[in-house]
Amino acid sequence: MTMQTPTLQPAPVPGQAPAAQGQPGAAMPPSGRQPEQRRKGAWNALRSMFVGRLDAVPLATKIVACTVVLLIVGTVSISFTLRQLVGNYMLEKTDSQLLRQAQLVLNSIDTVRQSNDDNRSNSLLGSYFVQRRNENNAIMPGEIVPVFKDGVSSKPLLPESGSRGTIQLQQPFTTSAVVSLNGRAVDHSTLTTAESPWRVVALGWKDESTGKTGICYIGLSLSDQLDTARTLTRYCIIVGCAIVILGALLATLVTQRTLSPLKRIEKTAAKIAAGDLSQRVPSAPENTEVGSLASSLNAMLTRIEQSFREQEETTAKMKRFVSDASHELRTPLAAIHGYAELYKMQRDLPGALERADESIEHIESSSTRMTILVEDLLSLARLDEGRGIDLTQQVPLTTLVTDATDDLHALDPDRAIHRGTLAFQPKDGATPSSLRFSDGPMPEVMLKGDGSRLRQVVTNIVGNIHRYTPSDSPVEISIGVMPASISPESLSRMPATETSLHHFTEAVDVSRSMQMGMKYAVIRFSDHGPGVPADSRSKIFERFYTADPSRARLKGGTGLGMAIAQSVVKAHRGFICASESDGGGLTLTVVLPIAPMEPKPLQPVGETHDAGRGRNAKSGGKTAKERRSRKE
């Protein structure tokens, strides 16, 4: 049967007719957008406030708080689950005990009553409650009630006499206790035990002698089960509190230990922000997040410091370049201006024509020098921009070096010029690896590059030898091809120092042992002139560098030749450096990439042995011949 709820209509306003539904002029319900927007605004404000406060909490506090909350939730959940499982298990054991021993209790009612009368409630039979009822559910005399300490009795709360209520046979149920104190002082533990609920089962009984039937209620107090559950709960609380406290302490220690590198990173970042770019984050194992972060930060800081130093060096070079260029251009301009004024002053004097020719000659030489200087500056600017160079030509490098050698011989006929091959000398004991000159014909070398630019490099080097060394000092010019385990990009980024040349020779040694790498053409010009001090050798590639403080340029040149040579070599992904010659002087070494090495095909063992033996025989014959020629 269903009930209908009457619809409540609003009471009409006195003096106003009710508006029909859908009739124009009827009151429309207010739009629900404004309350919805207010709710959304309030929710967003509450969420932003909560999130803002949460974001303001330190990370270590968040981790420890989350750990403590998880431990509390886990401990409470485990304790509650364990209590429920133990309680259910003990309740099932009590039910099985009631059902299994019910017939024994019925058959031993006299024994149970005797145990109860003797106050032996601790015995097994003395702990049972027994109540019999007849077929009309009326309580029969002879009820057995357990008696506890100090005369306290307790029995379950059952339906009234004459009623069975909803109790079903052989279905155990739990009911509260009815306690009788008998006017005595009772301690708390006894009262708690007596007030414990009962587990009761109703069974049918029949007297075989009289034929009477009825229902018998048999019950057991749940005091022992509740005491076990309380003890278990108490232990769970103690152990749970200990686990939470120890977990909080351990989480605090581990969090502080784990986040201590982050604090060091923070302090390092503060020092770097203060301007000390040399600071680095302390290293940590890279398999951890903090270690990976520290490694990445150190790599980033290295790049930043390198970029900052390069920027400072570029700025300093630019300032020095502008100053030097202004100084170099001012000298010929001042000469042109001075000789022009001298010509004006002396053109009306006798012999003005001869003096005019002399002035024009000085003006022409100064303008020529300035033209060469401007052309060199223009070449450098184009090379810096990557223009004015074609790297797709096949260049006969040996021909370029030979032509430059012939030019040097034409300029200095008295100079001894030795041509030869440049070979690699492996490390021998304490002697480091090096490049060795062997007199003889130079090998033919071809590579891709810009022929005119490479010729300019060789010409500038030979021109410096002609200008800055005595005309009778010997010169060794050699070419060699050797592999090296270094990429052209890395080679071109190396500074023009002797340390870089040593790294190159080490890469050659590694490539010879591993049979892999890049083939490079190595050109070396060694003179035996006055040389350059060790601290100034890398500076000869700077623009407008000169060892002459007066910048008189008495020997010609603009101070840009070696700078142009270095720019051309770097454009070819090569390397150039200056070092000291054996016996004194200056050696310029140019390294240019040719092509990657091709792997050598494997040969049978017999052929390899025969070929090696043939080579040894040939080398041995050549060595003997050389020895005979040396003795002669």
pLDDT for 260 beyond 50: yes
Under 8 Å between Cβ of 591 and 522:
yes
Vertex 225: Cα angle to 219 and 226 (nearest 5): 105
Residue 504: the pLDDT is 93
pLDDT for 301 beyond 80: yes
In terms of C-beta density within 10 A (0-12 exposed, 13-18 middle, 19 or more buried), how is residue 339 classed? buried
Which residue would you say has higher pLDDT here, 313 or 507?
Answer: 507
Vertex 579: Cα angle to 577 and 410 (nearest 5): 85
Using pLDDT thresholds of 50, 70 and 90, give the confidence band for residue 7.
very low
Which residue would you say has higher pLDDT here, 314 or 83?
Answer: 83
Residue 611: the pLDDT is 43
Strands ordered across the beta sheet of 475-484: 434-439, 417-425, 475-484, 518-527, 586-596, 575-580
Residue 198: the pLDDT is 92
pLDDT for 237 beyond 80: yes
Q: What is the DSSP letter of 208?
A: T
Q: Tell me the C-alpha distance between 383 and 569, whole Å.
A: 10
Most confident listed range (106-110, 122-126, 282-286, 568-572): 568-572
pLDDT for 541 beyond 80: yes
Strand 198-206 versus strand 417-425 pairing type: unpaired
Which residue would you say has higher pLDDT here, 73 or 629?
Answer: 73
Residue 16: the pLDDT is 45
pLDDT tens by residue, 612-628: 444 444 444 444 444 44
By C-alpha distance, which of 121, 104, 93, 126 is closest to 203? 104
Work out the average pLDDT over 573-583.
91
Q: What share of the chain is helix, strand, coil (3-state, %, to 5)?
A: 55, 15, 30
Lowest-confidence pick of 67-71, 462-466, 623-627: 623-627
Lowest-confidence pick of 59-68, 268-277, 371-380, 571-580: 371-380
Distances, alpha carbon 549 to alpha carbons 160, 234, 594, in Å? 128, 94, 40
Residue 62: the pLDDT is 87
pLDDT tens by residue, 367-376: 777 777 777 7
Which residue would you say has higher pLDDT here, 624 or 495?
Answer: 495
pLDDT for 510 beyond 80: yes
Q: Which domains does the chain carry?
A: 50-111+124-275 (no CATH), 280-387 (1.10.287.130), 389-596 (3.30.565.10)
Which residue would you say has higher pLDDT here, 86 or 555?
Answer: 86
**Inter-axis angle of helices 59-107 and 223-273, to 10 degrees?**
170
Q: Tell me the C-alpha distance between 390 and 452, whole Å.
A: 9
- How many CB atoms neighbour CB 585 within 10 A? 20
In terms of C-beta density within 10 A (0-12 exposed, 13-18 middle, 19 or more buried), how is residue 131 classed? buried
Work out the average pLDDT over 416-430.
88
Using pLDDT thresholds of 50, 70 and 90, give the confidence band for residue 4.
very low
Mean pLDDT of the chain: 79
**3-class DSSP assignment, residue 53:** helix
pLDDT for 429 beyond 70: yes
Residue 600: the pLDDT is 60
- The percent of residues above 70 in pLDDT, for the chain, comes to 79
Burial 503-515 (b: 16+ CB within 10 A, else e): bbbbbbbebbeee
pTM: 0.50
Q: What is the DSSP letter of 194?
A: H
Q: Tell me the C-alpha distance between 26 and 328, whole Å.
A: 98
Residue 98: the pLDDT is 85
pLDDT for 461 beyond 90: yes
The full DSSP string for 21-33 is: TT-TTPPPPPPSH
- The percent of residues above 90 in pLDDT, for the chain, comes to 26
Residues 6 or more apart whose Cβ sits within 8 Å of residue 484? 491, 504, 507, 508, 510, 511, 517, 518, 520
Residue 345: the pLDDT is 74
